[in-house]
Structure 1
């Protein structure tokens, strides 16, 4: 059955959250405000780190990369949804859907790996403070970020190529606000067993390995903090990784919540609503977590805005 050429020119329909016309302005305003807050907040973090020489350290180098990825991550889904609401059209081209899916997978994996790299950075800083400048040198930091990009690009490319081999029939409605990999594969009228196998194997591998690294790093960090005799020393050591721990908890708990809610309710609509947490809300909250709990970032932001420190 040769449907490959037909699917290249077909369109998918992104059903979004609600078909009620009265709710569309509310949804539009809510997502526009969250998107602008995300872009502005993460952009300010990047500018503050770049402009302040005191923040040219491995920890803030990784943070600036995370902020850049968060901007790109949100920009792959929200602008398209806003345009769809504004123009009253839900159609997205086949090429556009594959492209959106590719960049979504790329940036969500980058978020995953960068959080693991930042956990390793905190592990070295707290468990091996005397060797920190030697271990976390600039070439190693660049290499860790580069490897994160390479693995994420290859994973997103593999999944996108696997979708390209599928054929699609008439029912091309996606009950989501973006082209989510699992939803697109389910619409296929050809055998998707190999796609499901690769998808879940990659999910388990690329999610559990960074998470295992984060858990291992923090287990060592907790052991090191417990061995510190003074309460002030314990507080100082913990405060250096509190912001990162908050972001890690937010990212993985919301991401896990999406899959648990969709598995429990078997509702694509509830899955789309839950996906907002880790695709929109988490990137929006990250700048607030790092700026409100970090004196160095707050000082840099004040310098950037021209306020007297």
Structure 2
């Protein structure tokens, strides 16, 4: 981050505080019960995404571009939850509201990177569905393993670059008065508004991030489903339309879960209480990683069947071991001797 400061001249000094204070959820009664709930959400997220990743990794039939994107979504959800939730619980459940300056910027970098990758992964899945339905005969050529991996690598490069620039621009800000961040994590917008010097570049990069990582992906997803809907209208039978649309239900559910709360919060931000806004945004951050694996397990036949097959094999194996144990115990010499003695 020193590259940003050295480019501005050696004689310029910035006032960096020793720490920031995360003050979100202040003044809310019985808020600790909410954090216990968040802890439960985090545990479910870790278990669910681990199960999805394990099923896809060990089943060779699921090594398709679509399931590469689903595997990557589960990985990003797991990584993002682990970047946000433990620190969030440490801050509010154990009252460690003071966070060192460098730790805060690192926390911001990883949270923004993971949240952005969740959105862009939905873009990759919408592109997969778009080609599969509109150009089914060309799907194997247009959407290959190499293409999907290259697309994911490009998204990671893009997100890391813009997150690095956003965090780097924060290091050129001076904080002369308040260091209290009114959010549940080190929020970029809340931090640059505390600065006492010119924060125009941070304001510009903030709106650029919103456009590139929220509105542009949402516009692409909506446009892709408009094209999908138009293509399905030309399908001959209602059964074929239903079958084609059913492959999109899981992805549409993820899009709705992620975007509707964010759009509602931004649209009604001036009408809702700041605490309600913080709770809504925190739920938006932690709920999708928990619900994504549940939705894909319930609505994706391949993953559901593989999971049921695994559970059935394990159940049968446990039953076999139990029966063998009972058989051996009943026919062991000690058991027979005790039976003879009883007679």
TM range (shorter): over 0.9
Structure-2 residue corresponding to 1:211 = 218
Q: Does 1:225 align with 2:257?
A: no
Whole-Å Cα distance in 2 between the matches of residues 257 and 73 of structure 1?
Answer: 22
Question: 1:228 Cα deviation (Å)?
Answer: 1.1
Question: 1:30 Cα deviation (Å)?
Answer: 0.8
Contact 1:261 1:274 (8 Å CA) reproduced: no
Q: Does 1:33 align with 2:40?
A: yes
Whole-Å Cα distance in 2 between the matches of residues 95 and 165 of structure 1?
Answer: 13
1:280 to 264, 283, 286: 286
Alignment of 1:134-283 (within 5 A): 134-265=141-272, 267-283=273-289
Question: 1:24 Cα deviation (Å)?
Answer: 4.6
Q: Where does the alignment leave 5 or more consecutive residues of structure 1 unmatched?
A: none
Structure-1 residue corresponding to 2:24 = 16
Q: Does 1:87 align with 2:94?
A: yes
Structure-2 residue corresponding to 1:118 = 125
Question: 1:3 Cα deviation (Å)?
Answer: 5.7
Structure-1 residue corresponding to 2:328 = none
Whole-Å Cα distance in 2 between the matches of residues 69 and 19 of structure 1?
Answer: 33
Question: 1:15 Cα deviation (Å)?
Answer: 1.3
Q: How many residue pairs get matched? A: 304
Whole-Å Cα distance in 1 between the matches of residues 37 and 201 of structure 2?
Answer: 38
Structure-1 residue corresponding to 2:335 = none
Question: 1:271 Cα deviation (Å)?
Answer: 2.3
Alignment of 1:283-298 (within 5 A): 283-298=289-304
The C-alpha deviation readout for 1:20-75, integer Å capped at 9, x for no partner, is 6x725412311110111111111111111111122111111101101111112222
With structure 2 as the length reference, what TM-score do the two structures score? 0.83
Whole-Å Cα distance in 2 between the matches of residues 248 and 101 of structure 1?
Answer: 23
Whole-Å Cα distance in 2 between the matches of residues 85 and 94 of structure 1?
Answer: 18
Question: 1:186 Cα deviation (Å)?
Answer: 1.2
Whole-Å Cα distance in 2 between the matches of residues 304 and 171 of structure 1?
Answer: 55
- Compare 157-166 and 11-20 and name the one that shifted more: 11-20
Q: Does 1:59 align with 2:66?
A: yes
What's the Cα RMSD here? 1.9
Structure-1 residue corresponding to 2:319 = none
| DSSP-derived class of the 1:13 partner | strand
Structure-2 residue corresponding to 1:109 = 116
The C-alpha deviation readout for 1:84-107, integer Å capped at 9, x for no partner, is 244322111111110111111111
Whole-Å Cα distance in 2 between the matches of residues 297 and 172 of structure 1?
Answer: 47
Whole-Å Cα distance in 2 between the matches of residues 25 and 75 of structure 1?
Answer: 20
Larger radius of gyration: 2
